[in-house]
């Protein structure tokens, strides 16, 4: 019998759900059995704020396990990956992306517009903190850590201490928890993180049989959008936790399919908010991202990125852990 392929995953409920979906899809498409192997990362062990942990803390242990041949492939939340390629490793597939938008979970079924001044809103991303401040709603933004259930408990549990939290809709969907969402946020208000909602299926580049096998999971439109978004991030030389947002959408244009890419760099206190857009063909996805980043840099994006770590007024320090 063919030995099961070893799929490395973080141990959180969301990571296991994501990896489980990939494992099931691969087995269904190829007949190869897959077993999950839990790998603990530096980010899982730390209680520090996410944007202060450094780049790649949720993926380095998985990549080490791949390199050491302790696992055959790994599934990452693509937005957690450093923009630089890992030597000897290859993103063999980007499965069809989940809805990349952010979601609000608020008490009493409230929408964002219905939150009163002074409402306490929790989120773990500097990008979201910056955009919430930029709305000018006088919200008290509270950085939080923890798994999905922990964060939801801050609003919906018996000891709730927040009025709302903002999470990625994709994670809630993969856990079957979209019922708690009170509003899916319009990207015009809350632009997602680059590659949000997308997964990266990674293996060793010298394992060509596995590269080919995993390729059946690749979704070309999702890969093109993510390539554009991450090219913008890389050109800005910003990390995955920086206050940078990007959203690429594929649509039918006058001359065929095209990417519409929106990008933003927002100061942590929300007082500077640079937003631009650009279009092009999927084949030029990387160049679209690079060009849009260059335009943002011309407008002063680099000076905003130098403010990272200063979360702005109405912001408290992290008190919870994952």
End-to-end Cα, the chain, rounded Å: 39
* Separation CA 184–CA 242 (nearest Å): 22
Q: Burial, 49: exposed, middle or buried (Cβ in 10 Å; 0-12, 13-18, 19+)?
A: middle
- The residues near 125 (Cβ < 8 Å, ≥ 6 apart) are 50, 51, 166, 193, 241
* Separation CA 149–CA 133 (nearest Å): 25
Active-site amino acid positions? 80
Within 46-94, residue ranges assigned H as helices are 60-67
* Separation CA 49–CA 53 (nearest Å): 7
Q: Half-sphere exposure (CA, 13 Å, Cβ side) for 107?
A: 18
Q: Are strands 102-106 and 34-38 parallel, antiparallel or unpaired?
A: unpaired
* Separation CA 112–CA 299 (nearest Å): 29
Contacts 24+ apart (CB under 8 A), 136-143: 136/270, 137/112, 138/314, 139/115, 139/314, 140/314, 140/315, 140/316, 141/311, 141/312, 141/314, 141/315, 142/315, 142/316, 143/49, 143/50, 143/311, 143/315, 143/316, 143/317, 143/318
């Amino acid at each position: 019998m063919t030995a099961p392929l070893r799929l490395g995953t973080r141990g959180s409920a969301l990571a296991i759900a994501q990896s489980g979906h990939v494992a099931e899809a691969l087995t269904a498409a190829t007949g190869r059995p897959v077993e999950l192997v839990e790998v603990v990362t530096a980010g899982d062990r730390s209680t520090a704020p996410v944007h202060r942990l450094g780049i790649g803390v949720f993926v380095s242990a998985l990549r080490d396990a791949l390199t050491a041949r302790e696992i055959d492939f790994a599934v990452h939340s693509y937005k957690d990956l450093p923009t630089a390629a890992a030597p000897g490793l290859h993103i063999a597939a980007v499965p069809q992306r989940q809805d990349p938008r952010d979601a609000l979970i608020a008490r009493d079924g409230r929408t964002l517009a219905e939150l009163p001044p002074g409402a306490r809103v929790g989120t773990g991303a500097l990008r979201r903190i910056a955009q919430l401040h930029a709305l000018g709603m006088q919200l008290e933004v509270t950085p939080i850590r923890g798994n999905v259930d922990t964060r939801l408990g801050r609003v919906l549990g018996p000891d709730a201490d927040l009025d709302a939290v903002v999470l990625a809709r994709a994670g809630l969907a993969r856990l079957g928890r979209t019922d708690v969402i009170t509003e899916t946020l319009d990207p015009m208000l809350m632009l997602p993180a680059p590659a949000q909602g997308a997964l990266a299926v990674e293996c060793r580049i010298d394992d060509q049989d596995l590269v080919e096998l995993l390729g059946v999971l690749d979704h070309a439109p999702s890969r093109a959008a993510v390539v554009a978004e991450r090219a913008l991030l890389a050109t800005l030389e910003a990390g995955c936790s920086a206050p940078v947002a990007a959203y690429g959408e594929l649509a039918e244009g006058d001359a065929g399919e095209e990417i519409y890419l929106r990008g933003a760099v927002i100061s942590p206190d929300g007082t500077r908010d640079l937003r631009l857009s650009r279009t092009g063909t999927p084949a030029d996805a990387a160049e679209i991202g690079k060009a849009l980043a260059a335009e943002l840099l011309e407008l002063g994006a680099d000076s905003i990125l130098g403010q990272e770590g200063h979360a702005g007024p109405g912001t408290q320090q992290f008190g919870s852990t994952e």
